Structure 1
Amino acid sequence: MATSDRIRSLVTENEIVVFMKGEPAAPQCGFSAGVVKVLDAIGRPYIGIDVLNDPFLREGIKEYSDWPTLPQVYVRGEFVGGCDIVREMYASGELQALLGTQSA
């Protein structure tokens, strides 16, 4: 399976997907940890994909989204953004609205 097809499958078959450095239980960078913290606070299940073990996936996700950095968050197949965008959306309540959850 081509990397882009694999990415497309992951983001369309799961409601919330995070392409990150490390795993949700053990993020390997501060930005990935920030996204995990926000998503954990919202309390919705999500899939964390560790790109450190797969250089094709690590580069492929950047091409797929046309976004140069990690982590990358997808909701219902749509690219939402990276750490700063996700934090801003959470602070404003926009992320909770997108996910259909109440603000804490």
Structure 2
Amino acid sequence: MSDALQFIDNLVKTNDVVLFMKGNARMPQCGFSGTVVKILDHVGVSFQDVNVLADDAIRQGIKDYSNWPTIPQLYVKGEFVGGCDIVREMFETGELKQLFSEAGVAIEA
């Protein structure tokens, strides 16, 4: 396993919620990443953000790790959830909040 994949694997397995995105939570650098940040903030979960633009190995590595071609990518308790469209749909149907609850992820009131 490459260093980038090991780094990604460790992040995903040691943090409850990880968002691989363009930019960071304070300053997203694409609309899709910004949308997912807004949803996570609205739901009230804390998350680890990873700026894939800062490291080409991580940017390609996360695509290889998940076998998913686009960014952002959301992971909850080590499991790949999806990208912006999937997260938005899950948020709109209430499935996202339910996923966090069932996974034991703290939701701020």
TM over 0.5: yes
Match of 1:46 in 2: 47
Match of 2:6 in 1: 5
Counterpart residue identity of residue 77, structure 2: R
Give the helix-richer structure, 1 or 2. 2
What is the CA-CA distance between 1:17 and the residue it aligns to? 0.2
Match of 1:34 in 2: 35
What is the CA-CA distance between 1:23 and the residue it aligns to? 0.4
After superposition, give the CA deviation of every residue in 1:4-47 in whole Å (9 maximum; x if it has no partner): 11101000100000000000000000000000010000111101
Give the strand-richer structure, 1 or 2. 1
Match of 1:61 in 2: 62
Match of 1:91 in 2: 92
The percent identity for this pair of structures is: 53
Mapped to 2, the partners of 1:12 and 1:42 lie a distance apart of 22
What is the CA-CA distance between 1:2 and the residue it aligns to? 1.2
Match of 1:74 in 2: 75
Counterpart residue identity of residue 58, structure 2: L
Counterpart residue identity of residue 51, structure 2: D
Mapped to 2, the partners of 1:38 and 1:12 lie a distance apart of 22
User: Following superposition, which runs of at least 4 residues in structure 1 exceed 4 angstroms of deviation?
Assistant: none
Counterpart residue identity of residue 33, structure 2: S
3-state DSSP class of the match of 1:57? Answer: helix
- Number of residues paired by the alignment? 103
Mapped to 1, the partners of 2:8 and 2:16 lie a distance apart of 13
Unaligned runs of 5+ in 2: none
What is the CA-CA distance between 1:73 and the residue it aligns to? 0.2
Question: C-alpha root-mean-square deviation of aligned residues, in Å?
Answer: 1.5
Mapped to 1, the partners of 2:54 and 2:13 lie a distance apart of 22
